[in-house]
A and B are shown apart, each in its own frame.
Chain A
Amino acid sequence: MSTLPFWATVLTFGLVIGMAALLLNIEAGWGGMWDLGIAGQVAVGAYSYALLTSPPDAVVPGLGLPFWAAMVGAGLITMIVSALIGWPTLRLRGEYFLITTFAFAEIIRQLIVIQRGLTGGTFGVTGIDKPFAEYFLPSAYPFILLGLAAAATVLVLLVSQRVSNSTYGLTLRAARDNEPLARSMGTAVDRVRIATYALVGLMTGLLVAPVYVWFLGALVPASFTTHLTFLVWTGLVIGGLGSRLGGLIGAVVLTVASEAVRLISVDPEHASRLAAFQPFLVGVLLIVLLRWRPEGLLSERGAFRKRAKPLDRIRRDDPQTLEAVSA
């Protein structure tokens, strides 16, 4: 049997993580908001999508909407939830923001487990509506899904590129570098950040979560643990925090590399040992890469070089501590 459908599925998952990493890059790479709550946002989007498409008479009843309407709905719901979480959270600084977003994601997951009537609890939601599934053989569907994931990725890329070339993107990076200075120039930093968080929520609910749902085929809370968050972060760091395409490239490299390990054929008795080897390999990959390319495969300076013509050879040192500025 051909391994092609398998690789199509791996790549689909890579693109899901890649899309999330591109969005995380807007928020964390350019905006400096180190969000550890990605899995929570994806969960809100995924369950919204599932419940909006699920027929009213299903085990976990929903509204039975067509997939595209559910995507829009999931986008709006995730955007609103993100804005509500962002409003109190984004006022927190540094590590408090990390911890709080982390906690919110865990709360969301626990709510999904507890709200059995709404979400199916740990049994989950099955019978997910996959777009165009009725027109294709099940054996061909992985390729259709890969096509859909690629189309969604293109949309996320367009948004990310637009942001990187906009006044908004520049303001975001400026406020990350020196918040008091950005304020002193008239930038409403809090508002920019909440809007950013909401944008990431919108795109997550609209595109990332639905493709993830199609990929999964059924929803259980275990698909939305911190593992998902760290996968996205690792992909982004490998690819290059603050670059334009790094998140996508890093995520695809990471998922393909770690799935390739699974293809190594070993005796069944060693299979579990090999499975345990997988996270180890990811760790080694990360260490080796960051040893040789601390900024990731791509870098922010490389990404924005066009506007920074190498006229002179002034070297950029590490950003200085900015606390002193506001004192």
Chain B
Amino acid sequence: MSAVLEVRGVGKTFGGVTALADVDLTVSTAEITALVGPNGAGKTTLFNVISGFGAPYTGEIVFDGVRLTGRKAHEIARLGLVRTFQTPVGFPSLTVHDNLVVAAGGHGFDGPQDALLRPRADRRGLRAAAERADQLLGEAGIEHLASAYMAGLSPGDLKLLEIVRQLASRPRMLLLDEPAAAMDVNQIGTLSRLIRGIAAQDVGILVIDHNLAFVLELADRVHVLDAGRLLAGGTPEEISRNADVRRVYLGEEAA
């Protein structure tokens, strides 16, 4: 078991609002790690901080032995740490297939140089990315969506594609922001299998979700965030027994 992502004492404020305070968290490739917490707890903010979006934060984040602090979002992605977004819009005016092609090839394409000066290599790269896209669509069982435009898809399909697309670049670690939201029971089953399959290939997984049943069934380790602070952390059994967690969650469900 090796720690791939380490979050140490991370804090983040928006004006006067403390979104994160002294968060410590470790993710290893051997397990699926989950992060739960009520609305506004700071879960997405933690993802933004890790993946290089938004203004600076305090504390330290290390990925695969590399300090992430101060790095830009695209640099962090190139290290193999890739996130999904809570609102899965994708690239609306591209087809589903092209969405995946961009992801599969996206890392290398910084400008027009290759397109104009090395057209053959560029075509080869595009073809390889297209094959990878076909393969991923096949594996996820959604080949029939290949030529659809993102904006026409159902919320569940959008959520699924959000993950499938980010897999295209073969990441070392995935941050999944509420992948099960807007999904029906069948889709959640597919999703769980997909995530387990990814984790089995030694890819680190940190998943946020509101759906406790889904999370407790899927994850090996669960962290609970409340008002920017970690409330508890442990195995799903420990978490489901934890009194503080029950209070936060029952409180939320009552509301």
Chain A positions within 8 Å of B, measured between CB atoms, are: 159, 162-163, 165-171, 173-174, 177-178, 180-189, 191-192, 195-196, 199, 242, 300-301, 304, 307-312, 314-320, 322, 324-327
Contacts and interface: CB of A to CB of B under 8 A. Distances in A.
Interface residues of B, number: 58
A169 B97 CA distance: 15
A171 B98 CA distance: 10
Given A180-B53, A185-B169, A189-B74, A319 B93 contact: yes
A309 B82 CA distance: 30
Contact of A186 (B78, B92, B147): B78
Interface string B100-126: 011101111111111110010011011
B111 A177 contact: no
A311 B146 contact: yes
Contact of B94 (A177, A180, A184, A311): A177
Given A173-B93, A311-B144, A326-B53, A184 B87 contact: no
Contacts, number: 180
B151 A319 contact: yes
A189 B77 CA distance: 13
Contacts of B151: 316-320
B74 A186 contact: yes
Contact of A178 (B90, B113, B144, B148): B90
A304 to B, nearest CB: 8
B106 A182 contact: yes
B64 to A, nearest CB: 15
Contact of A307 (B78, B91, B95, B166): B95
B90 A185 contact: no
Given A167-B105, A318-B151, A196 B111 contact: yes
Given A168-B109, A186-B106, A187-B102, 16 more contacts: A162-B116, A162-B119, A166-B122, A167-B109, A168-B115, A184-B51, A185-B107, A196-B111, A199-B111, A199-B116, A301-B149, A307-B147, A311-B148, A314-B152, A316-B92, A319-B89
A278 to B, nearest CB: 35
B172 interface: no
A187 B109 contact: yes
For the residues of A in contact with B, the DSSP-based class is helix
Contacts of B74: 183-189
A183 to B, nearest CB: 4
B153 A314 contact: yes
B107 A184 contact: no
Contact of B103 (A163, A168, A185, A325): A185
Nearest to A310: B147
A180 B93 contact: no
* 10 closest cross-chain pairs (CB), A and B: A195-B111, A166-B115, A314-B152, A316-B149, A186-B77, A319-B92, A177-B91, A168-B115, A186-B107, A185-B106
A291 to B, nearest CB: 22
A240 B58 CA distance: 48
B238 to A, nearest CB: 32
A99 B144 CA distance: 44
**Of B72, B110, B129, most A-chain CB atoms within 10 Å:** B110
B249 interface: no
B73 interface: yes
A178 B147 contact: no
B85 interface: yes
A307 B98 contact: yes
B83 interface: yes
B115 A308 contact: no
5 contacts: A165-B126, A166-B122, A167-B125, A173-B91, A186-B169
Contacts of B113: 195
Given A162-B116, A316-B149, A319-B92, A184 B111 contact: no
Contacts of A325: 85-87, 89
Contact of B83 (A165, A174, A184, A191): A184
